[in-house]
Amino acid sequence: DAGVTQSPTHLIKTRGQHVTLRCSPISGHKSVSWYQQVLGQGPQFIFQYYEKEERGRGNFPDRFSARQFPNYSSELNVNALLLGDSALYLCASTLRGSGNTIYFGEGSWLTVV
Amino acid sequence: EDQVTQSPEALRLQEGESSSLNCSYTVSGLRGLFWYRQDPGKGPEFLFTLYSAGEEKEKERLKATLTKKESFLHITAPKPEDSATYLCAVQVLTNFGNEKLTFGTGTRLTIIP
């Protein structure tokens, strides 16, 4: 079975540009979360979506937005990119509910220059 | 605010030299404590979830334990392939069903042949 898949794997953007990152959860998983991991730090929670509804938002500016589609895949959008947005963006999926394992994808490496 | 602290930040061991990694946490209500392994440039790989004090789980050379204030990841007779960053995370279920994970900064483990 395919795990959590993310695209693109690497990308370089210029300050002020917009980026869209995509995630397909494990088949049957309806909950998708996004995390940002800066080099040398642990992942930080950005969003959680379940059944296409936002269920949680971390301490990130409004430049960050996300959505979940009917097939449970998800997009993370970041507008007006800053140098500090350079990071590994991780998508995680779970069956939902405490007690369910949370699986991560390999991430999308974003470099803002 | 939920807090997770991992120690040490880095640990170098000789092959076969057993040791323990520590994860201390302060949360309002723990739902689960997660351990992940992360190789450079990769997404976190799930290892264990612990739910209540006194619980223990094992996988090959790894054993995770949980108390009311901290968790330990014991590694017995490690091999060079166990070299990675080990991340600890706590989950606290909010009123809106947000299942976010709060991560520590990780312990970078190096096993020397």
**pLDDT in tens for each of the 113 residues of chain B?**
889 999 999 999 999 999 999 999 998 888 899 999 999 999 999 999 999 999 999 999 999 999 999 999 999 999 999 999 999 999 987 666 677 899 999 999 999 99
Nearest-Cα residue of chain B relative to residue A94: B99
Mention every residue, 6+ apart, whose C-beta is less than 8 A from residue A54: A47, A48, A66
| Collapsed DSSP state (helix, strand, coil) of residue A95 | coil
List the single residue in B with minimal CA-CA distance to A33.
B100
Dist CA A61 CA B21 (whole Å): 34
- Which chain B residues have a beta carbon less than 8 Å from that of A92? 101
Q: Which residue in chain A has the smallest CA separation from B49?
A: A101
Taking residue A7's Cβ as centre, other Cβ atoms within 10 Å add up to 13
Beta-carbon contacts of B52 under 8 Å, excluding residues fewer than 6 positions away, are B66
Chain A with chain B: Cβ pairs closer than 8 A = 73
pLDDT, residue A99, reads 62
CA distance B34 to A41: 16
Interface test with B, best of A29, A51, A104 (most B CBs within 10 A): A104
Tell whether A108 lies on the interface with B, counting CB pairs under 8 A: no
**Quick check: A33 and B105 CB within 8 A?**
no
Nearest to B106 among A42, A56, A94 (CB): A42
Chain B residues whose beta carbon lies within 8 Å of the beta carbon of residue A96: 99
Q: Does the distance separating the beta carbons of A107 and B104 come in below 8 Å?
A: no
pLDDT tens-digit series, residues A16-71:
999 999 999 999 899 999 999 999 999 999 999 988 899 889 999 999 999 999 99
Contacts of A94 in chain B (CB under 8 A): 99
pLDDT score, position B92:
82
Distance from CA of A86 to the nearest CA of B (A): 14
What integer is the mean pLDDT of A97-110?
Answer: 86
Per the listing, tokens 């509910």 go with A97
Nearest CB partner across the interface for A45, out of B43, B97, B101: B101
Helix (H, G, I), strand (E, B) or coil at A83: helix
β-pairing, B107-112 vs B84-91, is antiparallel
Look at residue A96 and tell me whether its pLDDT is greater than 80. no
B42/A41 CB distance under 8 A: no
Chain mean pLDDT for chain A: 94
